[in-house]
Every structure is written in C-alpha cells, then in structure tokens.
Structure 1
Amino acid sequence: MEGVYVPLITPFSEDGAPALGVLEKLAVECLHAGATGLVALGTTGEPASLSDAEREAVLDVVAGVCRDTGAPLLVGANTPGRLAAVPTGAAAALTLVPPFLRPGEDGVVAYFEALAAVSPVPLVVYHVPYRTGQPLTAATLRRLAAIEQVIGVKYATGAVDAEAVALLADPPPGFAVLCGDDTMLSPMLALGASGGILASAHLQTAAFVQLVAAWRAGDVARARPLGRRLARLSAAVFAEPNPTVVKAALHAAGRIPTPDVRLPLLPASTAAVDEVAPYLYGSLLE
C-alpha cells in the first residue's frame, strides 16, 4: 500500500440525510485527481452519527466507485460485527487501537490477533494515542506487523517521534506505514513512509499526490517547498475538529450542498473557513 488515500466525508443534504450522489461525485473527483484509494466510514465520515442503514448506504456508494475504477478501498471497522460487514473485495479494514480502556501493549497485540482471525479482509492498524490513550512502541508495531492479516498502520501520534524513526529505519517487509497526521506528511515521507490517509486531500488532491511522488523519487528540491505549502493547508483544515473545516471548505467551493456536521460536532467558525479559503481554487503545484 502506498500513495494518498482520502478518508471521505459524509456530505449531508438540506434535509439532513446523506447526499449519496454528491458522495459518489466527490469520490470520483478524488480518484481522478490521482488519489490511490479511498476510505469509507473512517472517523472523517462521522460514522458514529450515522444509522446502520446510512452506514450501509455510504459503504455501498464508495465500494461501487472503487469497484468501477479499480481503486483500493479501506473501510473503518473496529469490531468483529463491523468487520463482518466489510466487502470481501476491500483492500483492508482500518481498525482503531482499542480506545479508552488502555489495555497495555500485550492486550493490543492479542486484540489484533483475535480480529485478524475472523476478519474477511486484511487489517490496517489505526494508531492515534492522543485519542485512544494507548501508546505503542516501535517494537510492538513490529509484533503487530508479524500478524499475517495485518498489513499496515495509520500512524497518527501527533509528532514525528522516536518510535516513528525507529520503525521507519527498518520497516517490516510488506508492512505499510501511512501517515495519519496531515501536517506531518512531508517529514514522514522523508523518513520512508509509503503514503498517507489524509482528510486534507479532499482539497488540492493532486498536490498531495505529487508530494508523495516527489519524496519517493528522491526529488528533495521539489518535495520540501511543496510539503511546506501543504502543511499550511493541513494546519488550516485541522484548526477545528475534523471534518468541520473540510466540510465548510467543500461547501464554499460548491462541491457539497451543505457544510453540516452532526452532534457532538458543531459547524466550523467563519474564521476557520477564511483561513482555508485561499486553498480552494487554483493549484499549489508550481
């Protein structure tokens, strides 16, 4: 797994229902701009606020786009029940490290061993300790990589930390390290990450794709300035809780019918939308 994966929002219509036709168009636009694949029902898609029927409809739309285009699909699924609903044609399930319980690193490994035994598709570990409360060392990530069905990690620790450096200094064979902190994408790619799962890539998708390509080609002179420009975009997108700002930006650009989010999220502020406005049109590529 490498490249840019876009964790799709769930756009809402004026009546509050998921705008499935808009979602399909957005998915196609991201892929046509060069994204490698899509994530359905990731946290950016507000899955906890969707009904079972809405989640199924969203997944059907995104899976259909991926099937028609041949693009890899990742599906957010954190329990055996949710994993059972993942289409067998999906590339992987994006599965969160158990949140809140803080089971310890041995508990995390045992948890993923159990999920891998029943999952119909491979697993990508979603490691986001500032949300889950459970840190993982590079050694534990290597233990997870040794599980046959675990094929990668969305690495989102909020920093390019010592564990990331240790992991990428000698990455496990066949194990993808995907950056999950959008502002950290360029330095993670410089260390050897294979790509990213990036909510910011709803905007300026082609520029994110080119950043990955530049680092993988060793074109440092191109990658560094592009990485700085995209980091500023990502900082603006994440100035308020995700996906509030990206939805407001897509609405301002006329790509989705409303900027609406569901509780407990609140709409993005005018100031946040003003910060992201310069990135809505034109290109960050030079």
Structure 2
Amino acid sequence: MNKKFEGVGIAIVTPFNEDLTIDHQSLIKIVNYNIDNGMDYIVISGTTGESVTISREEKKQIIQTIKQANNNRVPLVLGIGGNNTNQVLEEIKSTDFSGIDAILSVSPYYSKPTQEGVYQHYKAVSNVSPVPIIMYNVPGRTASNMLPQTTLRLAQDFDNIIAVKEAGNNMSQYLWLLKDKPSDFMVISGDDDLALPVTLAGGSGVISVIGQAFPKDFTKMIHLGLERKGDQAYKLHFNLMEITSLIFSENNPSGIKAVLQTMSLCKDKVRLPLVEATDGLKSKIQSFIAQYN
C-alpha cells in the first residue's frame, strides 16, 4: 500500500486578494502552517481550491508556489479531472509532474455517464498518467455515483489506480468498498464528518477541508484512528464536530475561508458564482474559534 497517502491530506484553498487575484503569500503561510502542524500531504486544485474558476496559467503558478513552499517536505497530489475525457488526457500529457506524487481525478460530472462510461474514462486516464491516480467519487457534485463495483473493478484492473477519495457521505458504500477492496488499494474519506469512522473501519484516512484550519488536532485524530485508538480519537472528533458542520452549511470553500480569515491565515474572498459566508455564519465560526482556543 502506498503509505505516503495514509493519514491526512488537506484539500488546500486558493487564497485571493481583495481584487480576486491569487494571494501567493497567504498560500505559502497555509502550506507552512499545515506542514508545521503535522499533516501528511497536500492536494492542489481540488474543489476546495476553486479549481473550476482558476485559469490554466494560474494553476501553474499555484503549483509552483506550493512546490517551493513545500520544499519536498510532504507529498503533493494534483487535481486533474473533468467531464471531457480528451481534455483531461491532454492536460495530463502537457503537465510537468516533477515534484507531484499523484493525481486526484474526479469522476465525470454533469454528463451523467453510465458505470461503463465511468470505467472507460478512468481506463483512458490510467493509460496516459505518469503518476499514480486517486479516483474521486463525489455524487453530490457530479450528479453521478460511482458504484463500489465500478471502483473495485478499476482497482483490480489498473495498477496505477491506487486509491479512491470517496465522498458520497454514505457509510454503507464505504463499508462495501472496504469489505471487498484489494489489500493494496486505499479507501480515503472525502467526508470530514465520517473521516474517523471510515478510518476505524479500515480506511486510509481523509482528504480534508477542515483539517487545514486545525491540522494538529485533526491529524492526531486520524492517526489515533489508524492506530485503532477509537476512544481517544473520538474525543477530538467530538471537539471538532460543530465547526466541521458549520463550514459546509452554506458552500465550500466559503465556510473554510471564513475560518482561515478568523485565524489570520488568508482573506475570505471567493470567485463567483460562489459568495462569501453570511455574517450569521461568520459570527458562529468566530464564537467557535474563540471558545476552542
């Protein structure tokens, strides 16, 4: 099993300045804050990084900034996915993968492919990717659920498909995956609220949103879960439950950016069609953080 993706990966935000250009200084600050507090790897240009409103040139700049700030301290995973298979293949072929350890590739959205269509999409990605692939199933965003049978078929058929980030918020689906997966295939939680139970059931950890704000406690929780120390881990889980719920109550990443702003790590700016968290949500977040600290 690829141990470098065990534990906590953070789905890092893309901080913006007031004029919505990329705030590279804040990005460096968030990278260092997370590495210094023990998280295990960084996922670049995922949903939380607002990948759909970032240009190709900006994406290159973000990768460069994170690579330099990271300085080979933790593994890096790059988001490359979409619902135009040929476009995804072209992006993979034209990407410089130096310093990148894997790609995270979302199951095709909007088009609503059949399970065979999803399989053929990932087969095509597998055939061109020079680095390992973590598939990403997030039916709440794609309008299409990648069923456990499809995930497991891909896991068995392609050696470079090493994991799935499963984010269906469906414990039953996680358990079917964990029950039947090949021994070296990783099931990674994409649901912060289920990350601990999934880990305790045999998962490999989480790619987390809230983890980048509370890296020390969140990583400790997941590491305790990997060590099967459930009672100690659940204490941390319960401490973070309220904030984990709050950040997803309006939209992601507006919620986590409101948290990071409260912690003076970056501004809470987001690009349309997303809007900043409401004053009501910001107030609840500020109260939680004041009490937590």
Give 1:277 deviation, angstroms: 2.1
Question: Which segments of structure 1 move beyond 6 Å, counting only runs of 4 or more?
Answer: none
- Structure 1 residue runs without a partner (length 5+): none
Structure 1 residues 171 and 232, CA gap change in structure 2 (3 angstroms): farther
Whole-Å separation in 1 of the counterparts to 2:207 and 2:285:
19
In the other structure, the counterpart of 1:5 is 9
8 Å contact kept, 1:75–1:86: no
Structure 1 residues 178 and 281, CA gap change in structure 2 (3 angstroms): farther
SS at match of 2:99: coil
Spell out, residue by residue over 1:2-25, the C-alpha distance to the aligned partner (whole angstroms, 9 max, x if none).
Answer: 011111111111232101121012
Whole-Å separation in 2 of the counterparts to 1:277 and 1:133:
33
User: Is the counterpart of residue 182 in structure 1 residue 192 in structure 2?
Assistant: yes
Spell out, residue by residue over 1:92-141, the C-alpha distance to the aligned partner (whole angstroms, 9 max, x if none).
Answer: 11101011222111111111111111112111101011221222222221
Spell out, residue by residue over 1:56-77, the C-alpha distance to the aligned partner (whole angstroms, 9 max, x if none).
Answer: 11111112233x1431101110
In the other structure, the counterpart of 2:163 is 152
In the other structure, the counterpart of 1:100 is 110
Range with bigger deviation, 98-107 or 259-268: 98-107
**Equivalent residue in structure 1 for 2:221, among 211, 214, 223:** 211
Whole-Å separation in 2 of the counterparts to 1:269 and 1:252:
14
In the other structure, the counterpart of 2:210 is 200
Structure 1 residues 14 and 135, CA gap change in structure 2 (3 angstroms): closer
User: Is the counterpart of residue 126 in structure 1 residue 136 in structure 2?
Assistant: yes
8 Å contact kept, 1:97–1:126: yes
User: Is the counterpart of residue 230 in structure 1 residue 234 in structure 2?
Assistant: no
In the other structure, the counterpart of 1:115 is 125
Equivalent AA in structure 2 for residue 198 of structure 1: S
SS at match of 2:245: helix
SS at match of 1:93: strand
CA RMSD after TM alignment: 1.7
Range with bigger deviation, 185-194 or 29-38: 185-194
Aligned residue runs from structure 1 range 18-37, under 5 A: 18-37=22-41
Whole-Å separation in 2 of the counterparts to 1:9 and 1:196:
16
In the other structure, the counterpart of 2:268 is 259
SS at match of 1:208: helix
Whole-Å separation in 2 of the counterparts to 1:172 and 1:65:
35
Spell out, residue by residue over 1:202-229, the C-alpha distance to the aligned partner (whole angstroms, 9 max, x if none).
Answer: 2111111111111111212201222222
Whole-Å separation in 2 of the counterparts to 1:151 and 1:176:
6
- Structure 2 residue runs without a partner (length 5+): 82-87
In the other structure, the counterpart of 1:70 is 73
SS at match of 1:75: strand
Structure 1 residues 186 and 58, CA gap change in structure 2 (3 angstroms): same
Whole-Å separation in 2 of the counterparts to 1:9 and 1:281:
22
Whole-Å separation in 2 of the counterparts to 1:212 and 1:171:
21
Whole-Å separation in 1 of the counterparts to 2:213 and 2:238:
15
Give 1:254 deviation, angstroms: 1.4
Equivalent AA in structure 1 for residue 79 of structure 2: G
Aligned residue runs from structure 1 range 36-47, under 5 A: 36-47=40-51
Structure 1 residues 88 and 121, CA gap change in structure 2 (3 angstroms): farther
State the TM-score, normalizing by the size of structure 2: 0.91
**Equivalent residue in structure 1 for 2:58, among 54, 57, 63:** 54
Q: Percent identity?
A: 28
Whole-Å separation in 2 of the counterparts to 1:148 and 1:88:
21
Structure 1 residues 43 and 83, CA gap change in structure 2 (3 angstroms): same
Whole-Å separation in 2 of the counterparts to 1:281 and 1:94:
34
